[in-house]
Structure 1
Amino acid sequence: MSRSLAQLEPGSLWFPQPHSALHEPNGLLAIGGDLTPARLLQAYHNGIFPWYGAHQPILWWSPDPRGVIQPDRLHISRSLQKRIRKQDVTIWINRDFMAVVAACAAPRRDCYDTWIHEELMASYAQLHAAGHAHSVEVWQGDEMIGGLYGISVGRLFCGESMFSRQADGSKLALVALCRHFSHSGGELIDCQMQTEHLLSLGAEEWPRTTFIQRLHQLRSQSVTPDCWKRQQVAL
């Protein structure tokens, strides 16, 4: 039996259940709605996220399987361990959130399009101001050479995007996130969709049902109170 795509209305926080998402394209769940902080939080708390191009309607996704990283199972290669031992960078939480978002939105060498357009950037800025969206930044002197950002949902962190301006920039940010988040009580990082880059760092693929069950357990639990305050952290 074919599945139909749910149409969302502006002003409503309703989403269909993730298991009703399309098989092709994998995980496409709904279209329309808006990007208010309340709707975005409702989405992330239920395993749903927005992903669409500029000048397109808002598309909402919940793919199966789901890419995740368990912080204590992060794979750190020998070359990355060597880079960490150099101690030539500093790691910050929320020092310049919007600079990270802008860097993630910038054109890449292999791709000129971006899904992080002005409407989404404005929404994530609101979530950051409200204490829900956070960045991990890799600084070398006064230059930010890598980073990532995402949404905190209890003891789960929903990773949205990462960037590098030097080799290993995003990998260092992910190592710092895993170590700091785990130390603060965090238990799972949502990668949304699996990539070769994430796979090399120890990402796993979970059935959507397994991910949703774990999300429901973690979203009502708390990390330490100072986890997401603006601070410099150890790598």
Structure 2
Amino acid sequence: MITIEHLAKKFDDHQIFSDINLEIQTGEIIGIIGPSGSGKSTLLRCLNLLETPDAGTITIDDQQIVAPHITKAQRLKFRQASTMVFQQFNLFRQKNAWENVAEGLITVKKIPKDEAKARALQELDRVGLAPYANFYPEQLSGGQKQRVAIARSLATDAKLLLLDEPTSALDLELVGEVLQTLKQVVLDHPNFTVILVSHELGFVQEVASRVLFFDDGRIQEAGTPDEVLVHPQHERTKQFLARFATQTVHN
């Protein structure tokens, strides 16, 4: 489904990564782990063109962009191939839960408001928030806000789901409800292709079909969750995992 070739990105004089090459099959769940600042989130943002790569080629299904020469029309069409759940929810404060979910359907896909509302309510029910459809973000907990954001992503019908540290902004007691929601989403949508950036190593091990250890702008190690999280070969991977020894990584 996805082919990344020679992808490069830098900010000012800081090279984030310079030669990322990766193939991802339809239905794979890719867990990306690694230290903060290693380029994981930037990679996701390049995949849906929130950040424009400096060089390289990205192909998603039958769509291909060659950086950095990307037209406005290419950018719009390419973004519709994926949907992203951010760390900070990014909800509209002046809109209630169903309006947040429906907004993109109305403004981008030009779906009639009544139809968009019906779909929004369906997706809110899927993430367990049907009773909160008319609540505004300030009336919701952090976990509920993130579940609204997940519902918003599901409503787009995109087949590529990008998850950028979806629990990092949550209080510890709220992490579990969001992880459970994401786990159910994965189970309910076997045709989804998912790329998950997360420090929740136990969750990554549970849901991912393949794990990539990202550091210093490179994929240092890749393999099954057991190969990377339980029996890593690269010394840098071992050092990173030692910091998370208290998390649930099962042998």
TM-score range, shorter chain: 0.3 to 0.5
Larger helix percent: 2
Larger Rg: 2
TM-score after normalising by structure 1: 0.33
TM-score after normalising by structure 2: 0.32
